[in-house]
Structure 1
Amino acid sequence: MFIQPWDAALGDAEWQTWIADGHDFGILSVNGLLGHAPIVVPTHFTVDGTTLLVHLARPNPVWDTIEVDPNVTFTVTGDYDSVPTSYYAAVQFTCQATIVDEPEPELLRRQMTHFQPDGVHAPIDPDEAPYGRMPPGIRGLRMDVIEVRAKFKYDDHKPVDRHAETARQLTGSSQGLDASAAAQRRRRLDRTSTWNA
């Protein structure tokens, strides 16, 4: 991912806050076996310290390739607008993956706690319905984060007045994620002047 200096994250706290603010769905990219294209899997994920947690169906083709090469990339994007030269936020994690086959579905419990924090789901117990039959059909993936590259492409290098006007126009749009792109532009407005001093 190419990142211009003005598109870089302001620091770890910026991308961490952005991820924690409900950006918990991304794309897992796994190196393909020799002679095959990379495997790309859209999936939910959970953050556990410096590790990303995922669970996938046991028949998923990623397992064989991860056993050969555990280096994976996980990319999360969002807050993009409806213009082809798009404003957007993206966080890309380079990770070392470890396959998790647990007799107890602890990884699944952690994910359910994240996605349904109010506990509005049946207990995850391997001996009880409705989840009892599911754990044998899935495998977990722990992805230890090696590097994070974050990009917030919102024209921070443009003049403040133009920046603010574009945010106003996006706020009034009903297209896709224009409103959330506008919120990101306004949030980073204080940074804009540093590229025009």
Structure 2
Amino acid sequence: MWVQPWDAGLDEAEWQTWIAEGHDFGQLSVNGLPGHPPTVVPTHFICDGTLLLIHLARPNPVWTAIERDPHVVLTVIGDYAFIPGTWRAKAGTPPADGVPTSYYAAVQFTCRADIVDDPQAKAELLRRQLAHFQPGGDHAAVAVDQPPYGRMLPGIRGLRLQVTDVLAKFKYDDHKPVDHRSAVADRLVHRGQGLDVPTAHQQRRRLDRIGPWKP
């Protein structure tokens, strides 16, 4: 992922907060077997410091590739919107001369994968995931000797992804003038399609932190 200086994460807390706000679904990319393209798996995950926890179905073809090469990437993308060129035209120029772009936030985790097959360890992984996704506890106990999860554990494998590098990108025209960024955020809220409102929130949040861009 290419990151311009003005699109870079401002600090570790920025991407950590963004992930913690509910951006817990991404794409796991695994190096392909010889003669085959990379394998990409959409999946939920939980983030615990430098560790990401995932589980996938045992029949998933990704396992052979991971066993051959445990170096993987998990990519999370959100708060994105298409910005028409008419919104980005320079002052004093025809609106049609503006060049469109995409706004988005993205975090890429480079990891080393450790496969979890021990039943007790898989049960603990599921308990930790459920504590995140169903914090109210409205689910059956996850135990190797109790239904419903006990009989289902053989059908999954767990993954512990040890994070070795993080690349964060928040692409919201932060190199543009303050008035321009404010106007685009207002237009996003007014348009109100898809993820326009959370995209505007990210642009305004970055604007408050950065102000005028200084190389």
TM-score, with structure 1 as normaliser:
0.96
| Rounded Cα–Cα distance in structure 2 between residues aligned with 1:60 and 1:53 | 17
Percent identity between the two aligned chains: 66
Q: In structure 2, how many angstroms separate the alpha carbons of the residues matched to 1:155 and 1:188?
A: 10
User: Which protein shows a greater Rg?
Assistant: 2
1:126 is displaced (CA, Å) by: 2.2
RMSD: 1.2
Residue 186 of structure 2 aligns with which residue? 168
* Pairing 1:151–2:202 present: no
Q: Aligned residue for 2:90?
A: none
4+ long deviations beyond 6 Å: none
**Which residues of 2 match residues 50-61 of structure 1 at below 5 A?**
50-61=50-61
Report the Cα distance in structure 1 between the residues aligned to 2:212 and 2:79, rounded to whole angstroms. Answer: 22
Matched, 1:123 2:145: no
Are positions 1:185 and 2:203 aligned together? yes
Any stretches of 5+ residues in structure 1 without a counterpart?
Answer: none
Provide the residue aligned with 1:194 in structure 2.
Answer: 213
Question: What CA deviation, in whole Å up to 9, does each residue of 1:144-185 have, x standing for no partner?
Answer: 001000000000000000100100111122211000000000
CA contact under 8 A between 1:158 and 1:192: conserved in structure 2?
Answer: no
Deviations 1:102-123 (A, max 9, x none): 2211111110111011111111
Q: TM-score, normalised by structure 2?
A: 0.88
In structure 2, the residue matched to 1:76 is 76
Counterpart of 2:159 in 1: which secondary structure?
A: strand
Deviates more, 1:3-12 or 1:122-131: 122-131
Contact 1:156-1:195 at 8 Å conserved across structures: no
Greater per-residue helix proportion: 2
Q: 1:97 maps to which residue?
A: 113
